[in-house]
Amino acid sequence: MRDSTFAPVRDAFRAVAGTIVPEAQSLDERAWTELESAIDTGLQTRPDSMRRQLRIFVRAIDVLPLFRFAKRFRALDPAQRTQFLLALQDSSLLLIRRGFWGLRTLVFMGYYGREEAQRAIGYRADPRGWEARR
């Protein structure tokens, strides 16, 4: 079995994930494990090179703010974190925009793929359909 994709960059990944979905900051360890495991499942069919690239991207997100804020990403305050990720999202380089879009998508998959999160936002789809509502 392969290690969790973000295990080597766990602290930085969780700081990024908590900025993308602020509610993730209050997850307990069990929920984080569930989130990260959903991402691993999602990446199962992707090549190993993609997992490596994702780790490099998260590392870069953690380190690059040193040049601007003299702090790693995980040490930034919430507003600075958001500001930094917005810059990636709006980057003039497609490679950066695409990388951030991919990372953001994985975080959403991990967070909103959990039934607990689905219930929390009021999602109630049920195979029984109308019968379950009437």
Partner 1 sequence: MIEKRADVVIVGSGAGGGTVAQELIPLARDGRKVIVLEQGPRFARDEFTGREMDMAPALYEDQGGFLTADGTMTLAFGRAYGGSTVVYTGTSMFPPERVIGHWNVPGLDHSDLDTRARKFAEQNNVHLLTDDLINDNNRLFVEGCRKAGYKAEQFPINVKGCKGSSLCNLGCPNGAKQGTHAVQLPNAEKNGVEVVTRAEVVRIEDRAVIVRVSEKRAGTKGLPSEWQPGEYRIASPIIVLAGGAIGTPALLLRSHIQGLPPAVGEGFTCHPAHILAAEHQHDITNDVGHPKSYYLDRAVEEGFVLETCMYFPFTTAKNLAGFGAPHSRLMRAFPRLQMILVLACDHAVAGNRVSVDGHGKPRVHYQFTKQTIDALIAATRASARIFFAAGAVRVHAPSADPPLLERADADRIDQRIDASHFKPGKISVSAAHLMGGCGMGPVTDSRGRVRGLPWLRVADSSLFPDSLEINPYLTIMALADRVAEGVREDIGSLAAEH
C-beta of 28 vs 47, nearer to partner 1? 47
Q: By CB under 8 A, is residue 38 in contact with partner 1?
A: yes
Of residues 44, 30, 35, 41, the one with CA closest to residue 13: 35
Which listed residue (4, 42, 59, 72) binds partner 1 by CB under 8 A?
42
Alpha carbon of 4 to those of 10, 65, 103, 105, 133: distances in Å?
A: 9, 25, 15, 17, 39
CB of 107 closer than 8 Å to CB of 118: no
**What residues from 62 to 91 belong to the interface with partner 1 (CB under 8 A)?**
82, 85, 89-90
Binding positions for partner 1, rule: CB under 8 A? 19-23, 38, 41-42, 44-46, 82, 85, 89-90, 94, 97-98, 101-102, 104-105, 108-109, 111-113, 115, 117-118, 120-133
